[in-house]
Structure 1
Amino acid sequence: MIQTPGLLLTILAFALVIGPLVFIHELGHYLAGRWFGVKAEAFSIGFGREIAGWTDKRGTRWKLALLPLGGYVKFAGDMTAAGRSDPDWLLLPAEERARTFQAKPVWQRAIIVAAGPAVNFLLALLILAGFALAYGDARTPAVIGQAMPGTAAATAGLRAGDRIEALGGREVDTFEDMVRFVKIRAGERVRIDYVRAGQPKSVDAVIGTQEQRDRFGNEYKVGLLGIAPTDPVVRSVGLLEAPVVAVRRTGDILEMMVETIGQIVTGRRSVKELGGPLAIAKVSGEQITLGADAFVFLLALVSINLGFINLLPVPMLDGGHLLFYLIEAVRRKPVGPEAQEWAYRGGLAAVLALMMLVTFNDLGNFGLWRHLAGLIG
């Protein structure tokens, strides 16, 4: 039976995911700017027309805007919310000019920009460290308990007791490492390096494809090698080790993100799998019905995604600004205003095109295009 969280719960869950994560991201920029003496003129959650807000004693306008799909901190000297410089900042009185973003050394500007993604990663690390403390660290040995009949593992001749050393040339330490590798490589041929009775061996195998359907009716195709583990091993984790486990898990998540994006770029995975705000809203509603643990873990995943995406070297994003600062540090002078203008236009076009693509995908996943085709037919 398919279960749905309902529209109101989905909207609430989406707000509970995006709102705090955007606030934390922008708070990173704000606090770093304040640390270096930069005046913040506006701190906005959302874009467009202001719904509510107030101005604090420092002159910062804190506001909630109509379109809740992001946010920004507008510093003194910025012409737009995207951080483009106002050419008139040099005409300001000396005291005001000293409090503008552009007046700060390039290393301080870089820290202010990088602080947003950094706090997103920090939040994810805190969440994952908490999970490690509460539930331990799964470290099941990469030893085959059973090669399921009819699967890729059985076809390749693997059997109980074999220890997997590497998949596709990548070293494997635990059974969980194997699962992560196989899950995103359905249909791919890989080399399996393993040890049997003390003797190193290798064999090629084509990872199988398993179609899964969850309680919400979502269908997935995941890779399946067909290996059952030995008895699961979960180690308890202390307070000092928890951050180490969290860093490793964050690295694993980032690695899977980069690999899946690479698969989309190279055509091994469909662009239809890219999702946007509507997909996040849908998943948020589903996860909140599964309980607090599932929802908080989703917060960590989205926070990592938000930090990663903002570090991409695309103008309009934090990574684009950092790229400009790197060039400035090397050249010992800023990138020319005309080059910045064209870069921002190109970055804006790329971001808008991506938003259109993911929104088209989201609407398709919701069945809108099938419904319209049925009406037309």
Structure 2
Amino acid sequence: MLNILAAVLLFGFIVLVHEFGHFLLAKCSGIGVVEFSVGMGPRIFSVEKGETRYSIKALPFGGSCMMVGEDAENTDPKAFNNKPVLSRIAVIAAGPVFNFILAFLFAMIIVAQIGHDAPVLTGVMEGSPAEEAGLQAGDCITKINGRHITAYRDIMLYTFSHPGQEMKVQFTRPAEAGTKESDGPTSGFVTLTPRFSEEYQSYMMGVQFGGYQKIHGIGQLIHYSAYEVKYCVVSTIDSLGMLFRRQIRADEAVTGPVGIVNMVGETVQESRQISARAVVLTLANWVLLLSSSLGIMNLLPIPALDGGRLVFLLIELVRGKPVDPEKEGMVHMAGMAVLMALMVLVLFNDIRNLL
């Protein structure tokens, strides 16, 4: 039960940070905030300070930031729709941006503790596409089909999201001992096609890696922490691409709050049997993954989401006048209806998987 509660609070914390981004930028832009709440559902405690009601609600997850004139015309000079378009863009974008900032901060905890998984080969499997192409231990993979490779997870992700696709692999190879012609590593490329492994039920290049390496200095800490956020964003986009290409089923790619809470609870339970450090790293990894995923999903140009609202604001910025509020409201209303229907389906799928 404690694991489930921890998972609910963790998920709520991530959503709360998202809403706090909207709240902070709204206040900085002179937009009136009617209510900022922690949790959802009925209020169990609230206090008014200035123009804003600060509330704690019954359900311990999520939060909200209700602004003056956010969804309707309002003559109040502090109304959202009466502020300059750039200010409104900043307020709407602040939610996802705060999710990326939160993900970065927790990525720093992870990288500082476990280091970085460099894409340096420790070996290649006999008879594998990698061996046939000429790759060998010590090679550092730098690009695959033009995509930059920073960690061996990038290779695994690309192979998974582009199954059976021919790959042009660029690499650097350290200079051989006693070589006089070169004082440093050489670079090259090979072309190979991963083969399906019946044992692992996936396409594989046949390469082996040595695990994580400790990072050195604040520069590497910042660099590889930013990479962790980038990896989560790229993996989310790749998963959506596989979903639209029908390479994976919707129930495999999409998990709702119930499923997420269950998975977080299970991993926390497993890590508790190892050590307190394992619990901290598990929770930090979930914050990194969920916060960055929430950020990128909210930026998708879907009506009712932050990305959909940004589309209308960018149109207003380009054409110099806003889209008819009534028409925009209808689009967002339709988008909200579709999202609610999807949420019901996702919830049903989560519950079915738990049974």
1:120 aligns with 2:99: yes
Q: Deviations over 1:158-213 (max 9, x none)?
A: 6556665643453545544323323444x42322436799795634323435777x
Corresponding residue for residue 309 of structure 1: 297
1:222–1:300 Cα change, 3 Å: farther
1:247 to 218, 222, 226: 226
* Partner amino acid, structure 2, of 1:74: M
Q: CA deviation at 1:265?
A: 0.6
User: 1:258: how far off?
Assistant: 0.5
Q: Secondary structure at the match of 2:63?
A: strand
CA distance in 1 between counterparts of 2:199 and 2:52 reads: 52
Question: What does residue 102 of structure 1 align with?
Answer: 81
Return the alpha-carbon distance in structure 1 between the equivalents of residues 255 and 164 of structure 2.
23
**Aligned residue among 244, 264, 281 for 1:293:** 281
Distance of 2:350 and 2:198 partners within structure 1: 23
Matched, 1:346 2:334: yes
Q: Does 1:327 align with 2:319?
A: no
The yes-or-no answer on 1:224 pairing with 2:204 is yes
Instruction: For residue 228 of structure 1, give the secondary structure of its aligned residue in structure 2.
Output: strand
The answer on 1:71 being equivalent to 2:48 is no
How many Å separate the matches in 2 of 1:249 and 1:52?
Answer: 38
Partner amino acid, structure 1, of 2:264: S
Distance 1:355 1:76 in 2: 27
> How much identity, in percent, do the aligned residues show?
30
Partner of 1:93: none
Q: Which moved more, 1:268-277 or 1:160-169?
A: 160-169
User: Residue 357 of structure 1: SS of its match in structure 2?
Assistant: helix
Consecutive unaligned residues of structure 1, counting only runs of 5 or more, are 1-7, 79-83, 91-96, 213-220, 369-377
Matched AA of 2:113: A
Residue in 1 that maps onto 2:245: 266
TM-score (norm. length: structure 2): 0.82
TM-score normalised according to structure 1 size? 0.78
Question: How many residues end up aligned between the 2 structures?
Answer: 334
| TM superposition shift of 1:67 | 5.4
Residue in 2 that maps onto 1:15? 8
Q: Deviations over 1:5-32 (max 9, x none)?
A: xxx1343122221221122111111111
Which of the residues 282, 295, 299 maps onto 2:262?
282
Distance verdict in 2 for CA 1:194–1:318, change over 3 Å: closer
